[in-house]
């Protein structure tokens, strides 16, 4: 009780600064006053118990007044801190420049224009997109325009209440150490009165179509088999941007690749930060594809694809062997992309022998099997595309990156962008479907071919949501408990290897330890069992939840056996869930 009272007092003290400092506008002050006077302190605590920090996805939170909310003051402090850091890091340059982009969310344009003004007030040249654009295009523009940094205002696939602020460095990738810590240090020094809201219009340049055209041409250069597209140009594609930025470029890209039968979902080709036609604008959720699937059924389409609001993730659905529409999950998506790229580059004699691919540690191990059999170097890295981008940067000029992805529906086929890219992924997906159709197959058949050659693995992610300050404490307690009481068996199979990325060590069944070669510690645990099961657990870096990633192996004697094999795997997954006490 004393701790709760102390927390309330701490939050009230922070709130009073917002109520009394004239730097905050009247509407904000009134809203904060109402929180302080409300006998229920839940909203006050959630709004003020901490300041938003850069996590795996930058700054992200619910919109509203408060230090733990997305508003012009938290965006302003982040931008002022980033400006200060850029002016320190690049003091020897005649001109420092940044790109500013945003998605379709409520307040995204306001936040983008606020940030642009602050950068310019600090003497930094700003390239501001004229309207919403995909995150990958912003990443591309940083490199193309020779900028030192860039930001995009987006909360990716989060619900409509959220917004976010992703910061990028001069390589076009999200900020990593030491710059992330350096920026946070500068942001933490900023008071509201330090924020230079009055911009210098002479330093703000509006960009748009000229960047779109260059970027789309680069994306088109990724096509591996344009001849098969010519033969299958009538492939029926249904696409939805879920009210987001994908509508700006993805239909154009598909047309440029040669596809002539692209059908968009009209109700969702509307820019709207309330995402009125979906519960959540997340292509990982089957519900978000409902309207696209209805359209696909009415025109007998070959493939359904959807991008999230900032068009970096792609979700998809295809018909199975019975003609029923099924969702393709993120692990399958990543695996199909890498399989196609490797097999078709080999078939066309495009392999030089220095290629590499990247996946995250929680993504399916079948990708490792594909890489090993085809003698392709594969790296494992942490969750978050900035780690894939880091590997591309480390090997730049030495090895050739040909693809990388993660289970959360993100894929990157190119190195001229340094974040996941739904524009190139949707285009490449259409080519894969055309290639399959050229052989009398479907995308589902390609998936079955992969399973028959490399074995079947079935994945499931369990999200345990724990909102607010109390939730953050519960998540910490769960991770501490798993570390203190390491499982010795999961669902009846002995644990043969435990990896603790928090201390960068792995342990065998006898307790012998060995180092893990990763660039820094991360709050992730993994267990591998004798029967091939892999379980990973980590707190989300962008949402109030703890995530469990479960992968189990299953026997599949023939493509027709897939349904029975996945049912058997589902039973095994339930046993794993029960074993973990979830």
Active site residues: 156
Q: Alpha-carbon distance 30 to 33, whole Å?
A: 5
Q: Alpha-carbon distance 194 to 192, whole Å?
A: 5
- Contact yes or no for 248/134 (Cβ under 8 A): yes
Token couple for 115: 């940030």
What does each C-alpha distance from 82 to 124, 182, 362 come to in angstroms?
11, 9, 31
**HSE value, Cβ hemisphere, 13 Å, CA-based, for 35:** 27
- Which residues, 6 or more positions from 9, have their beta carbon under 8 angstroms from its beta carbon? none
Neighbour order of strands in the sheet with 262-264: 262-264, 237-240, 303-307, 314-319, 325-328
345: part of which helix (H) or strand (E)?
helix 330-347
495: part of which helix (H) or strand (E)?
strand 493-500
Rg (CA), the chain: 24
- Contact yes or no for 570/564 (Cβ under 8 A): no
Surface-to-core class of residue 499, CB atoms within 10 Å of its CB (0-12 exposed, 13-18 middle, 19+ buried): buried
User: 179-189 and 72-89 are packed helices; what angle lies between their axes, rounded to 10 degrees?
Assistant: 120
Q: Is 457 helix (H, G, I), strand (E, B) or coil?
A: strand
Cross-strand partners of 97: 125
Parallel, antiparallel, or unpaired: how do β-strands 534-539 and 505-508 relate? unpaired
């Amino acid at each position: 009780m004393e701790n709760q009272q102390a927390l309330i007092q701490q939050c009230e003290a922070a709130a009073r600064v917002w109520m009394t400092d004239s730097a905050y506008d009247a509407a904000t002050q009134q809203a904060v006053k109402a929180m302080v006077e409300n006998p229920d302190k839940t909203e006050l605590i959630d709004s003020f118990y901490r300041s938003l920090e850069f996590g795996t996805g930058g700054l992200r939170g619910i919109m509203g007044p408060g230090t733990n909310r997305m508003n012009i003051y938290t965006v302003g402090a982040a931008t002022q801190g980033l400006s200060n850091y850029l002016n320190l890091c690049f003091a020897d340059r005649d001109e420092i420049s940044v790109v500013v982009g945003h998605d379709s969310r409520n307040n995204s344009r306001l936040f983008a224009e606020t940030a642009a003004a602050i950068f310019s007030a600090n003497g930094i040249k700003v390239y501001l997109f004229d309207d919403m654009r995909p995150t990958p295009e912003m990443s591309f523009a940083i490199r193309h325009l020779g900028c030192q940094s860039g930001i995009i205002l987006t909360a990716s696939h989060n619900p409509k209440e959220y917004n976010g602020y992703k910061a990028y460095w001069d390589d076009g990738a999200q900020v990593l150490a030491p710059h992330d810590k350096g920026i946070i240090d500068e942001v933490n020094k900023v008071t509201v009165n330090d924020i230079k809201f009055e911009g210098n219009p002479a330093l703000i340049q509006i960009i748009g179509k000229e960047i779109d055209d260059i970027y789309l041409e680069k994306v088109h250069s990724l096509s591996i088999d344009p001849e098969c597209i010519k033969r299958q140009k009538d492939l029926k594609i249904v696409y939805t941007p879920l009210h987001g930025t994908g509508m700006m470029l993805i239909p154009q890209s598909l047309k440029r690749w040669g596809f002539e039968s692209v059908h968009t979902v009209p109700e969702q080709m509307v820019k709207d930060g309330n995402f009125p036609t979906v519960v959540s604008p997340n292509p990982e959720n089957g519900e978000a594809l409902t309207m696209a699937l209805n359209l696909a059924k009415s025109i007998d389409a070959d493939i359904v694809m959807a991008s999230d609001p900032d068009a970096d993730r792609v979700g998809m659905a295809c018909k199975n062997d019975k003609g029923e529409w099924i969702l393709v999950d993120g692990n399958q998506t990543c695996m199909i992309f890498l399989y196609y790229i490797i097999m078709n580059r080999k078939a066309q004699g495009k392999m030089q022998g220095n290629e590499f691919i990247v996946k995250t540690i929680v993504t399916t191990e079948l990708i490792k099997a594909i890489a090993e059999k085809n003698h392709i170097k594969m790296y494992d890295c942490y969750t978050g595309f900035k780690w894939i981008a880091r590997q591309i940067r480390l090997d730049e000029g030495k090895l050739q990156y040909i693809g990388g992805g993660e289970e959360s529906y993100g894929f990157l086929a190119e190195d001229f962008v340094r974040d996941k890219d739904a524009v190139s992924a949707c285009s490449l997906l259409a080519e894969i479907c055309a290639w399959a159709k050229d052989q009398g197959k479907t995308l589902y058949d390609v998936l079955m071919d992969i399973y028959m050659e490399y074995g079947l693995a079935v994945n499931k992610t369990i999200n345990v949501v724990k909102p607010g300050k109390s939730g953050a404490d519960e998540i910490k307690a769960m991770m501490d408990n798993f570390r203190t009481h390491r499982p010795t068996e999961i669902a009846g199979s002995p644990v043969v290897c435990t990896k603790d990325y928090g201390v960068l060590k792995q342990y065998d069944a006898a307790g012998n330890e060995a180092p893990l070669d990763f660039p820094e510690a991360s709050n992730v645990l993994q267990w591998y069992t004798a029967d091939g099961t892999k379980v990973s657990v980590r707190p989300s870096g962008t949402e109030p939840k703890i995530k469990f990633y479960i992968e189990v192996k299953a026997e599949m004697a023939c493509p027709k056996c897939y349904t029975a094999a996945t049912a058997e795997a589902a039973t095994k997954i339930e046993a794993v869930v029960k074993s973990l006490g979830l």
